[in-house]
Structure 1
Amino acid sequence: MQQLVEKDPDAAILWFWKAINGRDRVDSALKDMAVVMKQQDRAEEAVEAIRSFRHLCSKQAQESLDNLLIDLYKKCGMVEQQIELLKQKLRMIYMGEAFNGKATKTARSHGKKFQISIKQETARILGNLGWAYMQQNNYAAAEVVYRKAQMIEPDANKACNLGLCLVKQGRLDEARRALEDVTHGRFSGAGDGKSTKNKAEELLREIEVRPATSTSEVGLGVEDEIMERIELVLNDWVPLRSKRLPIFEEISAFRDRIAC
C-alpha cells in the first residue's frame, strides 16, 4: 500500500474509499486516506470524509482522528473549528477521559514508539490553542493560554509566541523578559531551535524601536467555563471515581494575578 501511495496517490485514495465502503479496516483506511488527501492539498475533502465516516471507526481511533482533524483545520484556515475541537480535548483531559483513562499513551513518530503523558498532552493542546487565538488576533486570550502552557511544560517556542502576544499588546518590558529567556537558551527540547531564537531576536529588535503602550485586557474571548478548568497538572495523574483529575489547580487566581 505504501508503494501505491507513493506512485499513485489518486489510486490509493480510491482504494481507501473502497475499503471504507466495504467496512474493511475502516480505522486505518480513513486515517490513511485523510493523510494522503492532505498531502495532495485536498484537506477540505479530508475534513468532510472524517466527519462523515468517523462513526464507523472504533472508540480507540477517535482520539487520533481528532488530532488529524486539528491539523486539517489548521491547513484549511478553519480556526473556529480548530479552537472548538481543542477545547473539547481539554474538557476530556479535565474529566479524565483522555488516553482511555490512562496516565500515558504510546505514540508513533517516524516508525518509533514513545510515551506521552497527560501533562505533555495538556501543554501541547494549550500551545495549539494559543496559536489559534493568535490567528484571530486575540493576543490577550493567547497570552493567558501560553502562560498556562508554560507553567505546565515550558519550552522556547511557546515562550517566543508569548513574547509576540505581549508585543502586540504593547507590554514591551514583559515581552523583553520572555524573549530574553529564549535568546539566553533557558529552555531545552524540540522547540529550542535556531529558527526560534532568530524569531526572538527579531522581536527584541522590534521592541527597541517601538513606543511602549499598555493594555489591561487579559483573556478576551476565552470562555470562563473552559479557562477555569484548564488547571495546572503538577503531580502524577491518578483517576478518581468521579474521573476528574484531582491534581488540577484553579486558574482563576492566576488570571487575577496577571490582570493586576
Structure 2
Amino acid sequence: MDRISRKNSKGKQEKDLYHIIHKVPHGDGPYVKAKHAQLVEKEPEAAIVLFWKAINAGDRVDSALKDMAVVMKQLDRTEEAIEAVKSFRGLCSKSAQDSLDNVLIDLYKKSGKIEEQIELLKRKLRMIYQGEAFNGKPTKTARSHGKKFQVSVKQETSRLLGNLGWAYMQKSNFMMAEVVYRKAQMIDPDANKACNLGLCLIKQSRFDEAYLVIQDVLMGRLPGYDDFKSRKRAEELILELKSTNPSLEEPSDMLGLDDDFVKGLENLTNEWGPFRSKRLPIFEEISELRDQLAC
C-alpha cells in the first residue's frame, strides 16, 4: 500500500471512530447536521432548527421527529413537542408509530396530561389484544442507548399496564390502579411494579397486604429485587408501614400464594407456546379489564 492509500485509510478510520464515539451518523444532510449540533456542539436550540429542516426536506423524518421531540422535552418545550409529534407523525413510516406513541406517553407524563396518557396507554393495550401490535408477532426488536434487544408481548403488556397503573395513581384512583398493577404482575412480575402496588395498597389503608407485597421484593422473590433503587424504595416503604402501624407483625405465611394462584400462573405460562393466532392468549387472563380499556 502506497503512502497516499495509507493516508486515506487512516483518515477513513479516524472518521469512522469519530462517528462511533459521538454517535453521529454519516452524511451531510440536515439530519446529520442536527445530530452534530445536538451531540457534539451541545447546542439544542440549533439542533431543533436543523431537525425541522430535516423533516421539511424529508431527510430521515422518522428519526428527526423523535429526536426533535426528545430535545424539546429536555428544554421544557413539552407542549410544542406534543403538537409537533401529533402534527407530523403522518409523514413517518408505519414502523415508527409505536416509538412515537412512547415518546408521546413520556411527554404527556412530564406535562401532567394524565387523561391523554391513560387514553393512549389504553389504545396501545387494545392494539395488543387485537393482534395489531408487533405486526402480529410475539416479539419485537427494540433499541435503548444504541443497543438492540428483544421485547416480548408479555413484557410490553406488563410495561404498559404498569404505566397505566401509575397514571391512575396520579389521579388517586387507587382501586383501579390496584387492579391494573395486579394484572401486570401476573403477566410479567418485577420488583418496581411490586413497590408501586404496595404503595397503592398503603393508600387504601390495607397495610397487611402491602407488607406482604413489599416483603416479596426484600426476600428476593421477584425479578429486579437486586436493583438498588427498587430495594431502597422497598425498605423505605416497610419503614413507613412500621412507623405508622407499630402493631404490624410479619405474617407466618410470607409467600401469600395459595395453590390455586400458583397453578393459575403455571397455566398462564404454558399458554405461551408457538404463535397460533392474532388473538393473544394473555388477554384471556385480563378479560375483566376489557370494559375499562375500551372506555
The bucket for the TM-score relative to the shorter chain is: 0.7 to 0.9
For residues 41-66 of structure 1, give each alpha carbon's deviation from its aligned partner in whole angstroms, at most 9, with x where no partner exists.
Answer: 21211111001111111111111100
Instruction: Tell me if the contact between 1:238 and 1:246 (Cα under 8 Å) persists in the aligned partners.
Output: no
| Deviation at residue 77 of structure 1 after TM alignment | 1.0
Q: Structure 2 CA distance, aligned partners of 1:246 and 1:154?
A: 17
Instruction: Tell me if the contact between 1:159 and 1:178 (Cα under 8 Å) persists in the aligned partners.
Output: yes
1:3 equivalent among 12, 26, 36: 36
C-alpha distance 96-175 of structure 1, shift in aligned 2 (>3 A) = same
Instruction: Tell me if the contact between 1:96 and 1:239 (Cα under 8 Å) persists in the aligned partners.
Output: no
Instruction: Tell me if the contact between 2:187 and 2:282 (Cα under 8 Å) persists in the aligned partners.
Output: no
Q: What does 1:36-75 align with in structure 2 at a 5 Å threshold?
A: 36-75=71-110
| Deviation at residue 36 of structure 1 after TM alignment | 1.2
C-alpha distance 124-49 of structure 1, shift in aligned 2 (>3 A) = same
2:239 equivalent to 1:205: yes
Q: Structure 1 CA distance, aligned partners of 2:53 and 2:89?
A: 15
C-alpha distance 167-188 of structure 1, shift in aligned 2 (>3 A) = same
Structure showing greater radius of gyration is 2
Q: What does 1:108-123 align with in structure 2 at a 5 Å threshold?
A: 108-123=143-158
Instruction: Tell me if the contact between 2:168 and 2:176 (Cα under 8 Å) persists in the aligned partners.
Output: yes
Instruction: Tell me if the contact between 2:81 and 2:107 (Cα under 8 Å) persists in the aligned partners.
Output: yes
Instruction: Tell me if the contact between 1:172 and 1:207 (Cα under 8 Å) persists in the aligned partners.
Output: yes
Instruction: Tell me if the contact between 1:155 and 1:192 (Cα under 8 Å) persists in the aligned partners.
Output: no
| Deviation at residue 188 of structure 1 after TM alignment | 2.6
The amino acid of 1:173's aligned partner reads: D
2:57 equivalent among 22, 39, 45: 22
Report the counterpart of residue 129 of structure 1 in structure 2: 164
C-alpha distance 119-252 of structure 1, shift in aligned 2 (>3 A) = closer
2:271 equivalent to 1:238: no
**Higher-helix-fraction structure:** 2
SS in structure 1 of the partner of residue 205 of structure 2: coil
1:193 equivalent among 203, 211, 227: 227
Report the counterpart of residue 94 of structure 1 in structure 2: 129
| Deviation at residue 252 of structure 1 after TM alignment | 5.7
| Deviation at residue 192 of structure 1 after TM alignment | 4.1
| Deviation at residue 194 of structure 1 after TM alignment | 2.1
Shifted more, 198-207 versus 7-16: the winner is: 198-207
The amino acid of 2:273's aligned partner reads: D
Taking structure 2 as the reference length, the TM-score comes to 0.73
SS in structure 2 of the partner of residue 248 of structure 1: helix
Q: Structure 1 CA distance, aligned partners of 2:98 and 2:178?
A: 27
| Deviation at residue 250 of structure 1 after TM alignment | 4.1
For structure 2, list consecutive stretches of 5 or more residues without a partner in the other structure: 1-31, 248-267, 290-295
Give the aligned length: 232
The amino acid of 1:156's aligned partner reads: A
For residues 83-130 of structure 1, give each alpha carbon's deviation from its aligned partner in whole angstroms, at most 9, with x where no partner exists.
Answer: 100000000000000012221111111221110010110011011111
Instruction: Tell me if the contact between 1:237 and 1:247 (Cα under 8 Å) persists in the aligned partners.
Output: no
Q: Structure 2 CA distance, aligned partners of 1:194 and 1:27?
A: 35
C-alpha distance 239-76 of structure 1, shift in aligned 2 (>3 A) = farther
| Deviation at residue 239 of structure 1 after TM alignment | 4.9
C-alpha distance 100-159 of structure 1, shift in aligned 2 (>3 A) = same
Shifted more, 5-14 versus 136-145: the winner is: 5-14
Taking structure 1 as the reference length, the TM-score comes to 0.83
1:146 equivalent among 166, 181, 206: 181
| Deviation at residue 210 of structure 1 after TM alignment | 3.1
1:32 equivalent among 41, 49, 67: 67
